[in-house]
Structure 1
């Protein structure tokens, strides 16, 4: 049996979103986050389908009518009724592997980032989607606690992650590093784990998810956040992370091509003033494009230019995420990609190729 964890740039059937409800933590800024999600859906639907789970039929009807007015083809949207606790599909969505040439979706346990927040409905969401007949690929349940934002794959057997998250005793306290690597090897086909010891963002609830810090752009390239302000509280940890990345080697022994992403000005919550986790590393790769979170900051343009260098064959599209960081995540955190072969009906031409 051969298997691998897909890279994000593998051809996709859809992007999965979990729409926030009126009783969620988003309630005080619900119109703002819905506007951001609508912009994401409009952009993604130009390239592929969007799978949206909603809490009730009224929301489905409202969103369907709104997206029709925005000119989105009905075939590009798939709504499923499924209750949720929050909107972070990256962490409660399934992880897709290729096993002997077939897509398999793995449903890992989600506990609200180590029990910080209620998560029972989020943890059950993938099984509800499976029961609704959404997936063509088989879904397998796993007992390991593992969030999609905690790991990043090069598609060739290498995994990038952080010690602060995966080795945190609030996730899988009975597993040490060696045991956890063995599970990742057996379940995801991982051959190497690259561990980052340093790096964090203030306002982050996830214990340093790697998708806020450093990301594969291709098997040879890693984009990462760089703090160039010595007075900033993140400076020392992110400089140490940069040194770690410089010391990493690919499977062939060569160093990685590293693309630094700029550091935006501090963003603060307008209600109580706490710092929010603004990061450009939380970009999303879709078919033919890359969606990049921006924050109405002078560094936005430099971040877009850096990622255009990393993805020269893809359109680079900014998405205003000032509303998203109010709940301590960003663009990538809201999404989960579903590779070609995941959905019962892809809505794509059989002649499309991996891009």
Structure 2
């Protein structure tokens, strides 16, 4: 039977996360703040389903003190803390669960990244989950894809087709490998990610799709928009929305695009552009954990997600510290589907 990646809104067995440890991304006060932020997300998810946090050796006691007794903690060597990217992509054939282990090379071998340990986390988590591993030769991360569970996958050209990850691979070869691993049949490619996701803006991924666009149901995509015409993402987002509205999914349905405006804040304190986005949310059993930015548009975005996910509780969690490290709530969580 063919294995496929279920949509995020399908039932979960649990959520996996990775604990921030001392590295170039998290230092001093930033490390303490990041640990508090990760703990807030873990506790929000735990209201709806079990959570396992992978922590570095010797860090379990401190992690448990912040996480509380309801979150499982396991120790293993880590380089960074972005479980969406370093963890496995779980797939199922309806009777069995398996895990795709993509090649991880530090988001395209970026000079600030380390991945000696993180490149092995997917296999370790798979072992802990007791599932078979499907090894892929493709350099890829979980934040670089999003599926509808009915054959369609969202991708960005600067990630899977970028020379930093898969030099020499054609678009057809990349699609064939992704379809083989995820059970998809139709790929929708966006040209690139948000501006702040690329050098020299900080700890970026070179264009992950899960901060730009995501499925919110069969035939429905939520898309990031930037209303401020001064922001370099303004025109990019307009083009994304126009493009997505022309697309059909694997079932032949015309895509319905739900636009979600970025927060009103457009610059960091040092003057750099921010890529704050509500698209980088996490759907769990009975809930949606949504990035908040202490912004007037937080509640507007929450209202949209309540309409998209009736019957689920939308929980806002301040994600500014997470974004300062290079990602959002979706980036630090990874779902294990229930079979």
- TM value normalised by structure 1: 0.88
- Tell me, yes or no, if the aligned pair for 2:102 and 2:139 is still in contact at 8 Å: yes
Matched residue SS, 1:202: helix
1:126 aligns with 2:122: yes
For 2:309, the equivalent position in structure 1 comes to 311
Alpha-carbon distance change, 215 to 99 in structure 1, aligned in 2, over 3 angstroms = same
For 1:338, the equivalent position in structure 2 comes to 336
- Tell me, yes or no, if the aligned pair for 1:14 and 1:338 is still in contact at 8 Å: yes
- Separation in structure 2 between the aligned mates of residue 295 and residue 198 of structure 1, nearest angstrom: 24
- Tell me, yes or no, if the aligned pair for 1:198 and 1:240 is still in contact at 8 Å: no
- Tell me, yes or no, if the aligned pair for 1:15 and 1:50 is still in contact at 8 Å: yes
- Separation in structure 2 between the aligned mates of residue 138 and residue 113 of structure 1, nearest angstrom: 25
- Tell me, yes or no, if the aligned pair for 1:44 and 1:50 is still in contact at 8 Å: yes
For 1:30, the equivalent position in structure 2 comes to 31
For 1:212, the equivalent position in structure 2 comes to 211
Counterparts of 1:168-317 in structure 2 under 5 Å?
168-197=162-191, 199-204=193-198, 205-270=204-269, 272-317=270-315
Alpha-carbon distance change, 340 to 252 in structure 1, aligned in 2, over 3 angstroms = closer
- Tell me, yes or no, if the aligned pair for 1:224 and 1:259 is still in contact at 8 Å: yes
- TM value normalised by structure 2: 0.92
- Tell me, yes or no, if the aligned pair for 1:198 and 1:238 is still in contact at 8 Å: no
- Separation in structure 2 between the aligned mates of residue 129 and residue 249 of structure 1, nearest angstrom: 35
1:26 Cα offset (Å): 1.1
For 1:351, the equivalent position in structure 2 comes to none
Offset from partner CA, 1:171-217 (integer Å, 9 cap, x none): 11121011111112222211111111255232451121110000001
1:148 aligns with 2:142: yes
Give 5+ residue unaligned stretches, structure 2: 199-203
1:225 Cα offset (Å): 0.6
1:293 Cα offset (Å): 0.4
Give 5+ residue unaligned stretches, structure 1: 342-355
- Tell me, yes or no, if the aligned pair for 1:164 and 1:207 is still in contact at 8 Å: yes
Alpha-carbon distance change, 308 to 128 in structure 1, aligned in 2, over 3 angstroms = same
Offset from partner CA, 1:255-310 (integer Å, 9 cap, x none): 2222111121235444x443332111000011110001011111111111111111
Aligned length: 331
1:170 Cα offset (Å): 1.1
1:146 Cα offset (Å): 1.0
- Separation in structure 1 between the aligned mates of residue 123 and residue 4 of structure 2, nearest angstrom: 22
- Tell me, yes or no, if the aligned pair for 1:269 and 1:326 is still in contact at 8 Å: no
For 2:201, the equivalent position in structure 1 comes to none
- Tell me, yes or no, if the aligned pair for 1:149 and 1:333 is still in contact at 8 Å: yes
- Tell me, yes or no, if the aligned pair for 2:152 and 2:186 is still in contact at 8 Å: yes
For 1:39, the equivalent position in structure 2 comes to 40
- Tell me, yes or no, if the aligned pair for 1:91 and 1:333 is still in contact at 8 Å: yes
